[in-house]
Amino acid sequence: MHILVSNDDGVMAPGIVALARAMVPLGKVTVVAPSDNQSAAGHRKTMHKPLRVNRVKFPVEGVTAYSTSGSPSDSVALALLGFIAEPIDLVVSGINRGPNQGQDLTYSGTVSAAFEAVIWRKPAVAFSLCDHSEDAEYDAAAEIARQVVALKLYENLPPLTLLNVNVPALPLDEIRGFKITRQGLRQYNDELVERLDPSGRPYYWIGGGAPTGDVTEEGTDLWATDQGYVSITPIDLDMTSYAVIKDLEARGIAELKIAL
């Protein structure tokens, strides 16, 4: 098995090193990831400037690694569209520093790397650790990633569907097990911060506190990790609301003539 590893925290982030190391017993491992931290890059495709790729010395024996000037999804596209000659069987992304739950998925470069993989019909799993801190410890999450891949949970997923895995920040022996979950409800605590540049012109940061969310609703990703479980959420890139289709059809919208 040939496993492609990417992320959004950058090719030298401790989480991707831990993930690549965990994949080594399972197959051949190649890393293609952004050169710098691109957290919250979303599913951005670079179209108006060239992409540069550099071979990098990676701290895991036997792993070939490349840094790119592109986004996380650019990195996966580069690899799958032929920069990596040897066919790839599975794409894993992470381990992200910080959770990717609820509406985070629309911002997440980690999950977008997996979105890109399923667009090119490769199975994909995104891994995130529920710890934002600089000195986050990835060993337990890496062992969870190894187990998820060894269990082949990514096999037989429908088209455009990936697995989004969030691991609680606990020692391995304190993690209570796996829960299959749905997306929960995030609460963002963003604040607009205005400052003045040396010329006196205002500039802005989107600042504020870390996101919180509803951890009380049983069965969600936010609930599972709060309870000490590994959260595994199947994510479908088909964002259609089938419930609203039914509702609009029931209101006869499709039969209405266009008003002239």
Please report whether residue 8 would count as binding Mn ion according to CB under 5 A: yes
Binding string, 46-85, against Mn ion, x = CB under 5 A?
----------------------------------------
How far is residue 225's CA from residue 101's CA, in Å, rounded to a whole number?
10
Pairing between β-strand 161-167 and β-strand 124-129 as defined by DSSP bridges: parallel
Please report whether residue 96 would count as binding Mn ion according to CB under 5 A: yes
Residue 99 vs 213, nearer CB to Mn ion: 99
Contact residues for 47 (Cβ-Cβ < 8 A; gap 6+)? none
The CB-of-96 to Mn ion minimum distance in angstroms stands at 4
Q: Which stretch binds Mn ion (CB under 5 A): 95-103, 196-204, 215-223, 250-258?
A: 95-103
**Residue number, nearest CB to Mn ion:** 39
The CB-of-224 to Mn ion minimum distance in angstroms stands at 20
Please report whether residue 112 would count as binding Mn ion according to CB under 5 A: no
The CB-of-56 to Mn ion minimum distance in angstroms stands at 18
Q: How many CB atoms lie within 10 A of CB 157?
A: 17
What is the rounded radius of gyration, in angstroms, for the C-alpha atoms of the chain?
20
Q: Which stretch binds Mn ion (CB under 5 A): 77-85, 91-99, 177-185, 211-219?
A: 91-99
How far is residue 197's CA from residue 176's CA, in Å, rounded to a whole number?
50
> With the CA atoms of 194, 197, 200 and 205 taken in that order, what torsion angle do they form, in degrees rounded to the nearest 10?
-10
Contact residues for 36 (Cβ-Cβ < 8 A; gap 6+)? 10
The CB-of-219 to Mn ion minimum distance in angstroms stands at 25
Please report whether residue 166 would count as binding Mn ion according to CB under 5 A: no
How far is residue 111's CA from residue 44's CA, in Å, rounded to a whole number?
12
Please report whether residue 104 would count as binding Mn ion according to CB under 5 A: no
Residue 96 vs 181, nearer CB to Mn ion: 96
Please report whether residue 131 would count as binding Mn ion according to CB under 5 A: no
Residue 134 vs 194, nearer CB to Mn ion: 134
Count, residues near Mn ion per rule CB under 5 A = 4
The CB-of-124 to Mn ion minimum distance in angstroms stands at 16
Note whether 67 and 31 are within 8 A (CB).
no
Q: Which stretch binds Mn ion (CB under 5 A): 31-39, 43-51, 199-207, 214-222?
A: 31-39
> With the CA atoms of 244, 247, 252 and 256 taken in that order, what torsion angle do they form, in degrees rounded to the nearest 10?
-20
Please report whether residue 9 would count as binding Mn ion according to CB under 5 A: yes
How far is residue 93's CA from residue 162's CA, in Å, rounded to a whole number?
11
How far is residue 36's CA from residue 119's CA, in Å, rounded to a whole number?
24
State the DSSP H helix or E strand holding residue 20, giving kind and residue range, or none if neither: helix 14-23
Q: From the list 6, 39, 68, 166, which residue makes contact with Mn ion (rule: CB under 5 A)?
A: 39
The CB-of-182 to Mn ion minimum distance in angstroms stands at 22
Q: Sign (positive/negative) of CA torsion 17, 206, 164, 71? A: negative
Using CB under 5 A as the criterion, which residues of the chain lie in contact with Mn ion when the complex forms? 8-9, 39, 96
